[in-house]
Amino acid sequence: MRWFATGLLIPLAIGLSGPAAHAQDARTAATASTAGTKLIGEPVLLPYKLGKVRPGEKVGRPAPAAQPDRTSALSAKTVANALLNAGKQDQHSYADTSEVPLTKDATVPSSEAAAAAAPPTGWGDEPPPDSAACLDRDGSETAAGETYNRWLWCKKGRLGIDYYTVNSDGTREFHGTASVAYDAVTVGNGKERAVRTYFQAQYGSVSYDGWNPLDGWIWEVDDLSMYVLSDCTQDATFCYGTGSGIEHTWDEWDYHDEWLHWDIYSNETASTAADKVLYHQWHFRFGGSGGDYVYTTGTTENHTIRCDSANYFTFFQDYPKACVNYDVIPHLQYSVGDSRVTSVAQHIRFAQNDPTRTYPIEIEPKDIPGKYTGSRDERGLHRVPAGPITSTNRYYKDAACNRTTPYNDQTGLPAYDTATRDCDEYPFQSTDEGAGSPVWDFSVRAVPRTENQAAGGLLIWYYFSDRILYNTDEFWVDITD
Write the pLDDT tens digit of every residue in 382-393: 999 999 999 999
- pLDDT of amino acid 335: 95
Sign of CA dihedral 180, 42, 3, 5: negative
Q: What's the CA gap between 59 and 166, in Å, rounded? A: 21
Supply the pTM of this predicted model. 0.84
- pLDDT of amino acid 96: 76
- pLDDT of amino acid 10: 36
Per-residue pLDDT reduced to its tens digit, 29-69: 333 445 568 999 999 998 888 654 444 444 444 444 344 55
423 has which bridge partners?
446
Phi, psi angles (nearest 5°) of residue 150: -65, -15
Q: What's the CA gap between 427 and 199, in Å, rounded? A: 42
Mean pLDDT of successive 10-residue segments in the chain (481 residues)?
33 36 36 66 88 48 46 61 59 70 69 76 93 91 87 94 91 91 96 97 92 69 92 91 94 94 96 94 95 93 94 89 90 94 98 96 94 82 97 98 96 96 98 96 97 93 93 93 92
Strand order in the sheet with 474-480: 92-96, 329-335, 474-480, 381-382
Q: What's the CA gap between 315 and 109, in Å, rounded? A: 10
